[in-house]
Structure 1
Amino acid sequence: MKQVRPKKNLGQHFLTDLSIAKRIADTVDACPDIPVLEVGPGMGVMTQYLVEKPRPLRVVEIDRESVDYLNENFPRLRDNIIGDDFLRMDLRTLFDGGQFVLTGNYPYDISSQIFFKMLDNRDLIPCCTGMIQREVALRMASKPGNKQYGILSVLIQAWYDVEYLFTVEPDVFNPPPKVQSAVIRMTRNKVQKLDCNEQLFKQVVKTTFNQRRKMLRVSLKQMLPADAAIFTEHADMLTLRPEQLTIEQFVELTNYVEHDYSINKN
């Protein structure tokens, strides 16, 4: 069968360097003994190394042409090639509802959505690895006080330890992307529950970072009335900008906001 044509509308950039493909595939070894789900295998450049590992492997691919290619070239995987949209899948139907490692050469334009789905299924995914746009990888791994630190940093690091593993140059892809790529690994930390309202936590993080150049007292006025107690009782914290707050401080801030919410409802 002829090779698959990369499709711009699917954000396909096929990795051509086999040594890098093997390095990415080997990142799953940090979380052994559980199955692997590869997202977007394309023509199987990583799949060929993953399939040799002594653990169950399934792959999910939205591109029909790629699915046909995989079925022809990976006959031993034929019953484990899923032609579907990962973002629409119920992940609990995979591997009998058990845990698995998530990996892949993720399309740039949906990588954040993939990781938000990972967060929603964090009890199923103790480890996630793969390749994404370098800029996104830097944001995910960034610490407070850094200009890359943002929404993705806080929401992911609340639940996962993030490692930036290595950079990948554009010339090892077909077609070459216009930006550098990077390989990351995320491993579940020991946090089982945040000490705050978790839905409100996400709202506070997104609201404050949407005005990241503003002090917290300015951005929080979108969520609370001007006379809310937080603006006087915690005025010092509210002179900070969101990029200066640790995850623990965001938890603390969320509790202050919820306290004022409850008062204003009564």
Structure 2
Amino acid sequence: MEKVRAKKHLGQHFLKDKGIAQDIVEALSYHMGYRHVLEIGPGTGVLTEFLVKKDIELFLIDLDKESIAYLHTHYPQLPESRIMYGDVLRTDLKTLFPAPFGVIGNFPYNISSQIFFKILEHRDHVPEVVCMLQKEVAERIAEGPGSKTYGILSVLLQAYYDIEYLFTVEAHVFIPPPKVRSAVIRLKRNQVQALDCNEKRFVQVVKQGFQNRRKTLRNALKSLNLPEHMQGHPMLDKRAEQLSVADFVELTQLIA
């Protein structure tokens, strides 16, 4: 098998620039000393080509059977069990990786947010993520409070990870070229073991705040039945996009 066809329903756009591929792989810093790496959506193996040269335990997962067959043929140095056909969103990563592992990949644009929510579920087991995704989503994740692009995923990820926007990638270096620009970001697990509030409630407050982002938090959070003592709190006069992670933690504490 010499070629893998990019499939629209899988959101595939294969990177053809090996220089960019090498830059993405070199962005892995092995933060906190992990040696296992999961590549999500390897496709034609443009990142894999550089990853297999590293002193790591590399695992690949892809939902494209054609890609899996291609990877088995072109990377015989990897044990067959480490080239996995499957949906990463449905994979039991805790069983697959008993030790901490890094994540890398050119994330399919149509499921990139879902992948990050999966990573959040395993945040104490994933010290680092280096990935390429739609530029707009990358900016949203890396952006700080006060920006119109700052949102739910920004707050939830920044609560547990330090996030760096590394570089922009133009559409012409993909086959087929996407209609949007792409970007590479790096997430490194921070020192927060647990938030100083009820974490389930924190997620609820963040989501509720941004789902009504044009409203002040006093109105956006009405369905949470805010206690009477909070009604005059100045934070409620703000909109969700104006609050930092620390502000949302404080707000959750007050509501609880």
Q: In 2, Cα distance between the equivalents of 1:137 and 1:30?
A: 21
- Where structure 1 has 5 or more consecutive residues not aligned to the other structure, the ranges are 259-266
- Aligned-partner SS, 1:38: strand
CA RMSD of aligned residues (A): 1.2
Q: Which amino acid aligns with 1:82?
A: M
Q: In 2, Cα distance between the equivalents of 1:107 and 1:138?
A: 16
- Aligned-partner SS, 1:2: coil
Q: CA deviation at 1:216?
A: 0.6
Alignment-derived partner of residue 264 in structure 1: none
Corresponding position: 1:217 with 2:215? no
Q: CA deviation at 1:70?
A: 0.5
Q: CA deviation at 1:229?
A: 2.7
TM-score w.r.t. structure 1 length? 0.93
Q: CA deviation at 1:66?
A: 0.5
Q: CA deviation at 1:191?
A: 0.3
Q: In 1, Cα distance between the equivalents of 2:30 and 2:71?
A: 26
Alignment-derived partner of residue 15 in structure 1: 15
C-alpha offsets along residues 101-134 of structure 1, whole Å, 9 cap, x if unaligned?
1010000110011011101001110001110100
Q: In 2, Cα distance between the equivalents of 1:208 and 1:123?
A: 26
Corresponding position: 1:84 with 2:82? no
Alignment-derived partner of residue 169 in structure 1: 170
Q: Aligned pairs, how many?
A: 254
- Aligned-partner SS, 2:139: helix
- Where structure 2 has 5 or more consecutive residues not aligned to the other structure, the ranges are none
Q: In 2, Cα distance between the equivalents of 1:23 and 1:117?
A: 25
Q: In 1, Cα distance between the equivalents of 2:86 and 2:18?
A: 26
Alignment-derived partner of residue 6 in structure 1: 6
- Of the structure 1 ranges 183-192 and 22-31, higher mean CA displacement relative to structure 2 is found in 22-31
Identity of paired residues, percent? 53
Q: In 2, Cα distance between the equivalents of 1:33 and 1:119?
A: 17
Query: Does structure 1 conserve the Cα–Cα contact (< 8 Å) formed by 2:34 and 2:102?
Result: no
Q: In 2, Cα distance between the equivalents of 1:85 and 1:72?
A: 21
Q: CA deviation at 1:30?
A: 4.6
Alignment-derived partner of residue 46 in structure 2: 45
Q: In 1, Cα distance between the equivalents of 2:95 and 2:45?
A: 23
TM-score w.r.t. structure 2 length? 0.96
* Mapping for residues 133-172 of structure 1, pairs under 5 Å: 133-172=134-173
Looking at CA atoms only, which structure, 1 or 2, has the larger radius of gyration?
1
Q: In 2, Cα distance between the equivalents of 1:17 and 1:237?
A: 47
- Aligned-partner SS, 1:199: helix
C-alpha offsets along residues 124-168 of structure 1, whole Å, 9 cap, x if unaligned?
100011101000010111111111111111000000000000000
C-alpha offsets along residues 176-232 of structure 1, whole Å, 9 cap, x if unaligned?
00000000000000000101010010000000101111111011112116x733113
Query: Does structure 1 conserve the Cα–Cα contact (< 8 Å) formed by 2:34 and 2:127?
Result: no
- Aligned-partner SS, 2:29: helix
Q: CA deviation at 1:92?
A: 1.3
Corresponding position: 1:239 with 2:240? no
C-alpha offsets along residues 48-105 of structure 1, whole Å, 9 cap, x if unaligned?
000100111010111101000101111111421011110001111224x000110100
